[in-house]
């Protein structure tokens, strides 16, 4: 645009009394000056506290203390409104209407943005759903998606394969440039008590479905969602990259039995990452009786921050090393500013032994690979029963022995600046494999932890095959084998 015309436009802008007119003039000015113009829909990149930077190329970032995966660049920043589908709830089964809405409004080309809206109603779901391959779509969940478990044999026989550990799911969901907002109250209710009663403590019951599997998804944003009483694992993130998942609430607790290690709601993980890169979990609240958030096979560049976890096992690495023919990694993971409430650990790492026995999900072993460059910083423990653990003893149906056989290597792991209360005198219970000892372990700044049993600071560091640690000396061997 000619500079004289720019001057006229600027003069008109100053004299205009109408906001809409001024807005149009500003947009014209910015376009003329080659300044990007954002649409009225907020981008997840502008979410509070994203911050950070990404460096290190395809091999992942080197942690600088302010690292975070690059924000997803959803087309809602520049797109225009495409088709809108409002899902009508059925008194019987709403899954056909849900599938139809995503089929009609979930696949959009160019800069067109489709939208799927769930009203503030209850949507009963009686069938498995596959809504993958989505593109350029906003999902607005104002109501409750409620899974009907009156026919458990249906779910056991029809749940959809996840593609890992012979696990399966009630809903496969995924695509490119997806924005899913729950507004702080949109709920996915798995009505899981039926499953907790049915499996009665059986680990990884065949066909028991995960609540939702985010698969084949990239450059996408999930926020303000509530997950209650999940059937099994709550959210599985697999074959995905560049996701921001924030302000999410999970509560999958047994309403009939007290929390214990042999609880019936076993396998109610809050979230699991598998074959995924650049995934951020921010401001999650998880109350469950298993892993809060777990990074499994080939999880890279994972950030977990500003979260509160209750009554489960802790932040988990693994299990991993289950497949003898695969090389798997967990690399570049940071968990920081985490509150641990009445949990077994703050963090624990678990790999399979080097002896292959049985088949997944409850069997395996003999896998290769490594878990490296992991930082767990600023944890506050509230009545934790343990603090930190490594075990390389996971085996078929919790069989014992062979703890020194795993060739899966654990290295460059830091525990930094932990405070709070525990009922244990053991800071770290580190049962590494003699076939591939742990190296680069660092534990510093844990003097603020208090053992409430005797009013002292925990001082024991129990070790097997830990080489040249930083910040601590091993005080003795492992007291007992830890298979989980």
CA distance 355 to 321: 10
Is residue 419 a part of any domain in this protein?
A: yes
Same domain, 432 and 354: yes
Residue 286 counted as domain residue: no
Residue 440's alpha-carbon distances to 220, 299, 462, in angstroms, are: 34, 20, 16
Which residues, in sequence order, are CB contacts of 356 under 8 Å at separation 6+?
A: 324, 364, 365, 366
Shared-domain flag, residues 162 and 83: yes
Backbone angles phi, psi at 222, to 5 degrees: -130, 130
Where is the domain boundary, 251, 274, 297?
Answer: 274
Amino acid 20: pLDDT? 45
Is 290 among the residues known to form the active site?
yes
Question: In terms of domains, do 135 and 225 share one?
Answer: yes
Asked if residue 249 belongs to a domain, the reply is: yes
pLDDT score, position 480 = 66
> For residue range 78-87, what is the model confidence (pLDDT) as tens digits?
578 999 999 9
Tell me whether residue 471 is in a domain.
yes
Q: What whole-number distance in Å separates Cα of residue 146 and Cα of residue 82?
A: 28
Q: Are residues 189 and 132 both part of a single domain? A: yes
Would residue 151 count as lying in a domain? yes
Q: What is the domain extent for residue 24?
A: 1-37
Q: What is the pLDDT of residues 402-442, one digit of tens each?
A: 999 999 999 999 999 999 999 999 999 999 999 999 999 99
The answer on 229 and 105 residing in a single domain is yes
User: What CATH number does the domain containing 151 carry?
Assistant: 2.160.20.10
Q: Which residues of the chain have pLDDT under 50?
A: 1-70, 72-77, 261, 263-264, 483-484
- Domain final position from 222, 254, 274: 274
Q: Do residue 346 and residue 213 come from a single domain?
A: no
The pLDDT value recorded for residue 481 is 55
Residue 339 forms part of a structural domain:
yes
- d(CA 60, CA 53) in angstroms, rounded, equals 11
The verdict on 31 and 79 lying in the same domain is: no
Predicted confidence at residue 439, as pLDDT, reads 99
CA angle 225, 231, 233 (to 5 degrees): 70
Same domain (yes/no): 377, 480:
yes
pLDDT at 471: 98
Q: Residue 470: inside a domain, yes or no?
A: yes
Residues 125 and 241 in one domain: yes
Query: Are 248 and 352 contained in the same domain?
Result: no
How many domains does one find in the chain?
3
Cβ atoms of 78 and 45 within 8 Å: the answer is no
Q: Which of 138, 140, 247, 290 is catalytic?
A: 290
Residues 29 and 78 in one domain: no
pTM, 2 dp:
0.85
Whether residue 445 is contained in a domain is answered as yes
Same domain, 32 and 77: no
Pull the structure tokens for residue 50: 């994203």
Per-residue H/E/C for the chain: CCHHHHHHHHHHHHHCCCHHHHHHHHHHHHHHCCCCCCCCCCCHHHCCCCCCECCCHHHCCCCCCCECCCCCCCHHHCCEEEEEEEECCCCCCCHHHHHHHHHHHCECCCCEEEEEEECCCEEEECCCEEEEEEEEEEEEECCEEEECCCCHHHHHHHCEECCCCCCEECEEEEEEEEEEEEEEEEEEECCCHHHHHHHCCCCCCCCCEECEEEECCEEEEEEEEEEECCCCCCEEEECCEEEEEEEEEEECCCCCCCCCCCCCCCCCCCEEEECEEEEEEEEEEEECCCEEEEECCCEEEEEEEEEEEECCCEEEEEEECCCCCCEEEEEEEEEEEEEEECCCCCEEEEEECCCCECCCCCCECCCEEEEEEEEEEEEEEEEECCCEEEEEEECHHHCCCCCCCCCCEEEEEEEEEEEEEECCCEEEEEECECCECEEEEEEECCCEEEECCCCECCCEEEEECEECCECCCCCECCCCCCCC
């Amino acid at each position: 645009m000619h500079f004289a015309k720019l001057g006229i436009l600027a003069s008109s802008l100053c004299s205009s009394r109408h906001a809409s007119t001024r807005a149009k003039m500003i947009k014209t000015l910015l376009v003329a000056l080659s300044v990007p113009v954002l649409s009225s829909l907020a981008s997840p990149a502008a979410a509070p506290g994203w911050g950070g930077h990404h460096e290190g190329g395809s091999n992942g970032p080197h942690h600088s203390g302010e690292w975070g995966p690059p924000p997803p660049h959803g087309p809602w920043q520049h797109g225009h409104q495409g088709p809108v589908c409002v899902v009508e709830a059925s008194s019987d089964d709403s899954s056909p209407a849900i599938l139809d809405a995503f089929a009609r409004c979930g696949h959009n080309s160019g800069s067109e943005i489709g939208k799927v809206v769930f009203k503030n109603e209850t949507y009963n779901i009686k069938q498995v759903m596959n809504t993958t391959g989505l593109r350029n779509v906003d999902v607005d969940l104002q109501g409750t998606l409620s899974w009907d478990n009156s026919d458990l044999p249906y779910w056991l026989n029809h749940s959809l394969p996840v593609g890992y550990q012979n696990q399966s799911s009630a809903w496969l969901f995924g695509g490119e440039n997806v924005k899913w907002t729950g507004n702080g109250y949109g709920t996915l209710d798995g009505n899981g008590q039926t499953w907790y009663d049915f499996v009665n403590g059986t680990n990884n019951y065949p066909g028991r479905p995960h609540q939702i599997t985010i698969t084949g998804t990239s450059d996408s944003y999930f926020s303000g969602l509530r997950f209650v009483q999940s059937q099994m694992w709550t959210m599985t993130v697999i074959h995905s990259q560049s996701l921001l998942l924030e302000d999410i609430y999970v509560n999958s607790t047994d309403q009939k039995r007290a929390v214990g290690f042999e609880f019936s709601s076993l396998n109610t993980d809050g979230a699991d990452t598998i074959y995924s890169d650049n995934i951020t979990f921010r401001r999650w609240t998880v109350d469950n009786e298993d892993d809060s958030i777990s990074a499994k096979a080939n999880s890279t560049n994972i950030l977990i921050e500003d979260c509160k976890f209750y009554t489960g096992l802790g932040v988990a690495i693994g299990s991993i090393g289950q497949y003898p023919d695969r090389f798997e990694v967990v690399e570049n993971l940071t968990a920081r500013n985490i509150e641990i409430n009445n949990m077994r650990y703050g963090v624990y790492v678990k790999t399979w032994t080097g002896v292959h026995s049985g088949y997944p999900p409850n069997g395996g072993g003999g896998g290769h690979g490594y878990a490296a460059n992991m930082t767990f910083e600023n944890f506050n423990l509230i009545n934790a029963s343990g603090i930190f653990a490594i075990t390389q003893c996971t085996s078929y149906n919790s069989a014992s022995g062979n703890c020194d056989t795993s060739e899966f290597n654990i290295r460059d792991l830091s525990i930094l600046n932990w405070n709070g209360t525990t009922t244990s005198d053991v800071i770290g219970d580190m049962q590494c494999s003699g076939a591939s000892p742990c190296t680069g372990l660092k534990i510093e700044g844990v003097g603020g932890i208090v053992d409430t049993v005797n009013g002292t600071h925990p001082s024991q560091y129990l070790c097997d095959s830990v080489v040249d640690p930083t910040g601590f000396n091993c005080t003795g061997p492992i007291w007992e084998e830890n298979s989980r």
